[in-house]
Chain A
Amino acid sequence: MIEVKNLTKKYGANTAVDDVSFKIRNGRIYGFLGPNGAGKSTTMNIIAGSLAATSGSVQINGYDICNDPIEAKKQIGYLPEIPPLYSDMTAFEYLHFVAEAKGVKPARAQKQVNEVMEQTGIAHMKDRLISGLSKGYKQRVGIAQAMLGNPDVIILDEPTVGLDPQQIIEIRELIRRLGQTKTVILSSHILAEISEVCDHIIIISRGKIVADDTLEALEARAGDETVLRMTIKGERSGILDVLSGYPSIREVNVLKEADGTLELEIKLPRGVDLRDDLFFAMAERRYAVISTQQMTASLEEVFLSLTDRTEGTQDKHALRERKRREKMLGNVKEDAPAPEQNDLGGDAE
């Protein structure tokens, strides 16, 4: 179990991680989700002991990373964002070095290296120089390295960044298998990835934790809301006046206002359907409803709203950020291919 308490990391005046606390329980896959620059890597580096915190504590299976670093580090296997590989070694030599550095007894090191190579599917590449491996294989060598020494917890920082869709699926599959026997912490800025493999999601934004819940709970949170998008032609104050007559409406956001046309986002509790009522109410006041679209909020929207909320009401900035992130999430959808082709081979350059 990992217990992070009031963790803060400052770089000069810049606070990368701001008073973060959470617990990682054994035997689950945790997703560490947040936009780029939210403090994911910094937090993971601190847990792994390669970065010192400004304040706060990290305990791994009861060992403090500050006071008992050697024992604490033995409990974790860590894959940083850039796989820490030595390009002048072969995969086998490298893994052997890491096993030895982690204090695995020489008699067992050989066996353990072979085991992790088998599990990560790199056994047939073991005598190749790391410099000659494809990115996917390098990433696997990185994961294999993290598994050595049989740690309870495996921390993977953005393990699928820069991989092609096929490789992403393979790595995800590997992470799922790892999660059957170990606690895995996986960081990503890609929601689809996290929601696909993780049981528990921690969302971090601007150095703060904005959600820490199971996937189901977050989905439930997303699911209790219905969003109605309406485009109405008419006077702003009049339209908002009509809407204020419906107490079941939770929130109204004006998305766009142009040429006397309003684009609205209306949030309702799940199961409430106001489409007919609103149409006739608007018609009565001679406001033309041009389009109506009803959507149930997805996990993505929860993510966006959670990461937006901490960004304050700096509208322009928030909007730009939001747009950027929506674009990013859009890209992700395109990136994630059908998980059918699960061939592990044919990956090397």
Chain B
Amino acid sequence: MSAIYKRELRSYFGSMYGYIYLAFTLLVIGIYITTHNLLGGTAEMSYTFSDMAFMSIFLIPVLTMRSFAEERRNKTDMFLLSLPIKPVSIVLGKYFAMLSVFAIPVAVLSIFGLVLRLFSKGSALLGSLGASLAAGISYLLLGALLIAVCMLISSLTDSVVIAAIGGFAAVLLLFGMDYLVVIAQYLDVLFAEKAAVLSFVGLIVLLGLFALAAGLLSESALVGMITAAATVIPLSAAFAIWNDAFAGLFAKVLTRLSAFATFSDMTLGAFSLSGLVFFASAIFFSVYLTVLMLERRRWKS
């Protein structure tokens, strides 16, 4: 794993690629530090990290687009598979390399925060250390999740451009889930007596998308249909029995599944174990799928 990790890091900083990524990210950080902290007059970093999370919609796909797509294009992925390394080590080596590159600007931002704290000691500008720490850790977790998702998308294609656009679309979709929650909650209020049905329909659509993704990833219509059946049938049964419990359920489920909502909760004062578990399991799931995709290259191609 360490060989892959080192090679990946070298490929970031052996070319302009890594430096351009860093330069752009640091520029954004500079702008946010100036507007939020210097002009805003606070050493607390929660809002800075919150806005960085928005910027990561654009930054993460660029960071991850090459990871597997380029290997596939150069056919070096087959070579990696012929080396005495486990596929999971290949994926983790790449993943940790991307995490490391991602962590560099976060470290810089944290140093900024520390310096600001030193200068605002004893004043009202100091803000809460806990809030800043929570925001920093949450931002790292969010980044780690987005990197894992975009890495998975990069492993599905042999075009770097498609990997970037696909990654962007996926991250945007995750980001948009927050707005979907708001819309769902609004509809629940608007059609209060039909809220349970609305919620049920929403959940069916969600599971349908999940089944579609499963079918596409496995390239098997059967897997997609089995997934759909295995999820939709129990849900329908549950709806038939506990009809009332469904009111507002869709919005709740979406909130639970939303990476950005979890991130906002955790940065703005509700740092929670359940949030940690959410990020950890979502990261694990994405990395695991990437390993499966890499191993599938041994069967197809």
Question: A residues within 8 Å of B by Cβ?
Answer: 11, 45, 48-52, 69-71, 73-74, 76, 78, 80, 82, 84-89, 93, 97-98, 100-103, 149
Contact = CB atoms under 8 A, between A and B. Distances in A.
Contacts of A93: 10, 14
A149 B7 CA distance: 18
B74 A84 contact: yes
A51 B85 contact: no
Given A50-B81, A73-B84, A89 B10 contact: yes
Contact of B7 (A50, A70, A97): A97
Across the A-B interface, give the 9 residue pairs with the lowest CB-CB distance, nearest first: A84-B79, A100-B3, A101-B3, A73-B84, A50-B82, A50-B81, A48-B82, A50-B78, A52-B298
B252 interface: no
Contacts of A98: 83
Contacts of B220: none
Interface string B280-301: 0000000000000000001111
A173 B113 CA distance: 63
A50 B299 contact: no
Contacts of B2: 100
B6 interface: yes
Contacts of A74: 84
A89 B14 contact: yes
Contact of A70 (B11, B14, B84): B84
B4 interface: yes
B79 to A, nearest CB: 3
24 contacts: A11-B300, A48-B82, A49-B82, A49-B298, A50-B298, A51-B299, A69-B84, A70-B84, A70-B85, A70-B86, A74-B84, A76-B82, A80-B78, A80-B82, A84-B75, A84-B78, A84-B79, A86-B11, A89-B7, A89-B10, A93-B14, A97-B3, A101-B83, A103-B84
B243 interface: no
A73 B78 CA distance: 13
A52 B82 contact: no
Interface in B13-65: 14-15
A84 B75 CA distance: 7
Interface of chain B, main secondary structure = helix
Q: Specify which of A88, A89, A103, A149 lies most central, judged by the most chain B CB atoms within 10 Å of its CB.
A: A88
B274 interface: no
A98 B80 CA distance: 9
B14 A88 contact: yes
B75 A82 contact: yes
A73 B82 contact: yes
Nearest to A78: B82
B78 A45 contact: yes
B272 interface: no
Contacts of B74: 82, 84-87
B218 interface: no
Contacts of A84: 74-76, 78-80
Given A84-B78, A85-B74, A89-B7, 19 more contacts: A49-B81, A50-B78, A51-B299, A52-B298, A74-B84, A82-B74, A84-B79, A86-B7, A88-B15, A97-B6, A97-B7, A97-B10, A98-B83, A100-B3, A101-B3, A101-B7, A101-B85, A102-B83, A103-B84
Interface in B60-111: 74-76, 78-86
Given A86-B7, A97-B6, A50 B14 contact: no
B255 to A, nearest CB: 41
B103 to A, nearest CB: 22
A93 B82 CA distance: 19
Given A80-B79, A84-B75, A89-B14, A51 B7 contact: no
Contacts of A87: 74
A61 B37 CA distance: 64
Nearest to B83: A101
A79 B144 CA distance: 35
Contacts of B86: 70
Contacts of A78: 79, 82
A50 B6 contact: no
Q: Specify which of B86, B298, B301 lies most central, judged by the most chain A CB atoms within 10 Å of its CB.
A: B298
Nearest to B14: A88
Contacts of B15: 88
A101 B4 CA distance: 7
Nearest to B17: A88
A159 to B, nearest CB: 15
Nearest to A129: B14
B212 to A, nearest CB: 23
B75 A73 contact: no
A97 B7 CA distance: 7
B299 A52 contact: yes
A223 to B, nearest CB: 39
A89 B76 CA distance: 13
Contacts of B76: 84-86
Nearest to A109: B3
B6 A51 contact: no
Contacts of A11: 300
B13 to A, nearest CB: 10
Contacts of B298: 49-52
A74 B82 CA distance: 9
A164 B80 CA distance: 28
A47 to B, nearest CB: 9
Nearest to A94: B7
B70 to A, nearest CB: 9
A100 B81 CA distance: 15
Contacts of B11: 86, 88-89
A89 B81 CA distance: 20
